[in-house]
Chains A and B, each alone.
Chain A
Amino acid sequence: DVKVTQSSRYLVKRTGEKVFLECVQDMDHENMFWYRQDPGLGLRLIYFSYDVKMKEKGDIPEGYSVSREKKERFSLILESASTNQTSMYLCASSRAGPAGLWQYFGPGTRLTVT
C-alpha cells in the first residue's frame, strides 16, 4: 500500500521558533509537495520539488523554506514561526510526467504557533 508519512500529527510551537516538518514517501515518486489548508482559504501550495535538490515556489512561499536531500524525503522549514502560520500542513507526492497527475497525501500536521 502506498504511503506518505509526516513526522507529527500535532505540533505546538512558540513564536520565533524554528520549525521542521518532515515528509517521507515510499513510492519512489519524483514529485513532492507541501501545502497548507485553512478554513475558507482551501488548499494552497507552498513549495514543490520535482527532483532531489530541486524546488519551485508555490503560491505562498514567504516565511517557508524546503529541503530535499534524498528522493524519499521532503522537509518544510519555518525559519521563525509566526502565529499566522498556524495551519494544517499537508505533504503529497506524485510520479513525474502525465502518469503522475494525481497526488498521494499524508495525514497532515496540525501546527499551532502561540
Chain B
Amino acid sequence: DAKTTQPTSMDCAEGRAANLPCNHSTISGNEYVYWYRQIHSQGPQYIIHGLKNNETNEMASLIITEDRKSSTLILPHATLRDTAVYYCIVRPSPNDYKLSFGAGTTVTVRA
C-alpha cells in the first residue's frame, strides 16, 4: 500500500478555508485517495475520495496533483465543528475494504 504523510497539526480561523495537505509519492495508478475525519469521542466520518480528477461534495473539495503524488483537502468555510483529526488514506483496490489510519492531522478551528 502507498504510504501517506500529513502534517501533525494545523490551526485555522473560523470562516476561512482550511487546506490540508497529504503526500502519497508512492501511489500507483489504481489507488484511490480517501479522506476521513474523527471528531473527539466520535467514530470516523467519511469525507471524500478521488482517483485522478478533483472532486467536490457538500463537505469538502479534493484536489489531486497531476502526478497524483500529493493531494489537498479543502474545507471551504471552516467552523468550530470542523475541529477534528483528519486522515488521508490510499486504498489499493476497489475490493480492499480495510481501513487503516495513521496519525492524521489534528485541525483546530479557532473563533
Contact = CB atoms under 8 A, between A and B. Distances in A.
B44 A33 contact: no
A92 B42 CA distance: 12
Contacts of A66: none
Contacts of A4: 43
B101 to A, nearest CB: 4
| Chain B residues touching A, majority SS | loop
Nearest to A108: B43
Given A45-B99, A48-B97, A105 B45 contact: yes
Contacts of B45: 105
Contact of A90 (B44, B91, B98): B44
Interface of A: 4, 31, 33, 35, 37, 42-45, 48, 58-59, 90, 92, 94, 97-98, 100-108
26 contacts: A4-B43, A33-B97, A42-B103, A43-B99, A44-B100, A45-B98, A45-B100, A48-B97, A48-B98, A58-B98, A59-B98, A90-B43, A90-B44, A92-B99, A98-B94, A101-B32, A101-B34, A101-B49, A101-B91, A101-B94, A102-B34, A102-B46, A105-B43, A105-B44, A105-B45, A107-B42
